[in-house]
Amino acid sequence: MATLRAEPKLPDEIIEAAKAGNLVLFIGAGISRMAGHPSWDGFADAVVNQLVKNEVIDHHEKSLINALPDPRKRLSIAKILDENNGSKVDYKEIFELREPWNDIYDFINKYECTFVTTNYDKLIKPTISKSKPETNWRSYKRKDLLNAKLDTKGAVIHLHGCVDDPSSMIVTTKDYLEHYISDEVPKFLTHLFSTKVVLFLGYGLEETEILEYVLKSSNQKDQALKRLFILQGFFNAEEPLFIKLKDYYEQSFNAQLIIFPRDHADYVQQRAIIKKWVDELEFKDLALTDKLAALEADLDE
């Protein structure tokens, strides 16, 4: 049995993509949980608790909602109840960090590339963007999903909305369905996956539906796909499992799993990997011709 490398080697395609200005980091909830933000279960619990506090439901109704095993179903029900009550849930309070548990974002924010995230929080604050007004580099409304933003180093694109505007947050099942059949989202994702090398961080095996959503909605059957990379942790004893999963991700999503060991530091091992990689990457600007092509595509749409 082979021993997994604590700090796996950066694939050459990611190194070359950074040099070409074509690398996009796609950040998921697993990274924010390391910093102290709630899991899906914790998020659902916090919203339901606010419904009780706001006297929208009582404790018996809370117990009925919490009996549902799927946190996203609980969130769907809770958001509908909240909207019927005038939308009083304070999402900013739920995602407010008094003291981060982990400094992983200190290293993520050093990456001089474009960021896409399905997270609602605002922990992605690229160092190269901090001197600019936030409205210049952070986007979270569907109408702002523009191809040219993917060509802007230091841009942060919230695919599922942001706590700054709760109405933009994709939470319920209905939200997801409408979002991914809209005009803007499939076009944006088609451009992303056909022109960029994408590195997924913070997505667990239970979140493959995110990949399914984004890949199906991008309608890529006739597109020349770029390579996807997913940083994923396993225990060394799980070798037969991750060998099979590597083939599954390759065949299903044209994605390569970059595997790290969870045996000693669990998912926190990602901190050392992300820190090491940013020091190894050289970030350069996208070629002007590619930037102009994206702008023309936005104008045509």
Q: What local confidence, expressed as pLDDT, does residue 286 receive?
A: 76
| The pLDDT of residue 294 is above 90 | no
Percent share of the chain, pLDDT over 90: 67
| The pLDDT of residue 104 is above 60 | yes
Task: Tell me what the pLDDT averaged over the chain comes to.
Answer: 88
| Residues 165-185 pLDDT 10s | 999 999 988 898 899 889 899
Q: What local confidence, expressed as pLDDT, does residue 65 receive?
A: 97
Global pTM reads 0.90
Enumerate the domain spans of the chain.
12-37+101-300, 40-94
- Compute the average pLDDT of residues 239-254: 87
| The pLDDT of residue 287 is above 80 | no
Long-range (24+ apart) CB contacts under 8 A made by 162-167 are: 162/120, 162/122, 162/138, 163/91, 163/92, 163/94, 163/95, 163/120, 163/121, 163/122, 164/92, 164/122, 164/140, 165/140, 165/141, 166/87, 166/89, 166/91, 167/87
| Residues 199-242 pLDDT 10s | 999 987 666 666 666 666 555 554 555 678 999 999 999 999 99
